[in-house]
A and B are shown apart, each in its own frame.
Chain A
């Protein structure tokens, strides 16, 4: 009887994984046909099959849309998995990469670089975001680590406080900058995949793949954390070190993504919850599905941002935050109704 139930769980997880892989592949493919230039799925298919044809459409699809769609996918999956990891190690369903000051730190680094050096693209931005987020992260660990007991709570509060601190500095810098720079920075902090190009795509790909791989390999420890620190210790998990390792990995992902595509909120918060409604995230399949759903979601958000308004691009952060807030409110509503 138990074996039947077990295989039912396995089947459901395999099915979920299969469906999300299929949806992700289809979305990556289909998203290439949306954009300012009129192209159809047939055009996309042609540009894949007839590789010699250097038509206008083919170039748009390969050089503009494909890196952009891939970056969107990476961003969605990276944010979803780091949100899930942070929710798990803090046992706080409201945790997302933004709550811990990591993204505010990254934004601060980027805005500082933009304001001081006038740099607005390229590798330097990633470096500044990474430094800003590492600064926020070290401060967070320093503050939270000093208090031995109540670690999770003080970590969360410290994260929120740091987030406000960095936002204050960011606002101050923006206040001092000239209006044109402010507009550029505002658009940047709202998030966009417009700067995606093949030359820089390796960085998020590398970081997200590596971090996700490490997180997957620690899935047992992650599950052990869900029943409390004390219980995790009795299962041989070195709780404090483990939590900091996971925090570092999620910050790395967040930092790189903030640098590449600006601040995209709510994905890290909502995707893990949506997936949690359907399957348990205790298995490799569960973690992968979360990541794939995040990526697929982001690909379509990017499509919306490109196609909602004619000749104008909506910031990605606006769309995810709008959908996210509605989701969030309905989550609260349904939670209340359940109790």
Chain B
């Protein structure tokens, strides 16, 4: 079986996908390609359909029309654990009052890889330990997951995704409740993993700094795609987000040496 996809062919191919609740159409004929190795950001105003689109990609919602292909296979043709071996997901903070340790939560990443009766091997333990060290939670592995701060929880969930060994990491506004420092920390951590990432962003400047490509969604339709410097224009911000803003260059350059667009918002809409 080929698990390695050649560069530049889409890892994830969304073809003509529509989805809705009852009579209300949320997503309208979405076409989208995610290329292997890219960090792609999804931005759009509240209610535009960001979460709905991502849910169609990780099989929480089944499109009413169109297909989502992963490595040229319809994702609904795959077994659920097969798909979970290829795609990991980090969601917004989920509260849970049950006493799971951080180690237990991170070990959940093994779920799709393990058969019912198998136990954790030493290799698995090494993987988990490595993931815990990567996200910097070594001192907390014995602690209960609930006792972690918001940023630590998201890091633990990223560690769970690392253990899952996916080809694609999907994140739905994973940093929306976090302080600035942790927003940057969590996103840079995701970027450092070297897997293909598709993440929705609340903070446009963070999206601009992190992403290779941006996808803009409004009213269930994709309006813009491209590099941050192409997408983040004053016109787009006015049309899609309804704000008046100025776009300059960030004083820092990106790692690949490109300039990073930086948005300054204007106030006084009343």
Residues of A within 8 A of B (CB): 1-3, 5-6, 8-9, 87-88, 91, 93, 217-218, 220-221, 223-224, 226-228, 230-231, 233-238, 276-277, 279-283
Contacts and interface: CB of A to CB of B under 8 A. Distances in A.
B97 to A, nearest CB: 6
B103 interface: yes
A2 B89 contact: no
Contact of A236 (B55, B85, B103, B142): B85
23 contacts: A1-B138, A2-B133, A2-B138, A6-B125, A6-B142, A8-B142, A9-B101, A9-B142, A217-B116, A223-B104, A223-B108, A227-B96, A228-B91, A230-B91, A230-B94, A231-B91, A231-B94, A234-B89, A236-B84, A236-B111, A281-B98, A282-B101, A283-B104
Contact of B112 (A9, A223, A235): A235
Interface in B133-153: 133, 138-139, 141-142, 144
Interface of B: 55, 58-60, 79-85, 87-89, 91, 94, 96-101, 103-105, 108-112, 114, 116-117, 125, 129, 132-133, 138-139, 141-142, 144, 164, 170
Contacts of B104: 223, 280, 282-283
B129 A6 contact: yes
A276 B114 CA distance: 25
Given A2-B138, A9-B142, A230-B60, A238 B108 contact: no
B96 A91 contact: yes
Contacts of B55: 230
Contacts of B98: 87-88, 91, 93, 226, 276, 281
Nearest to B21: A149
A6 B108 contact: no
B99 A281 contact: yes
Contact of B116 (A1, A218, A238): A218
Contacts of B108: 220, 223-224, 227, 235
A283 B119 CA distance: 10
B110 A220 contact: yes
Contacts of B114: 220
B144 A280 contact: yes
Contacts of A230: 55, 60, 91, 94
The 6 A-B pairs at the shortest CB distance, nearest first, are namely: A236-B84, A236-B81, A234-B89, A236-B112, A282-B104, A5-B142
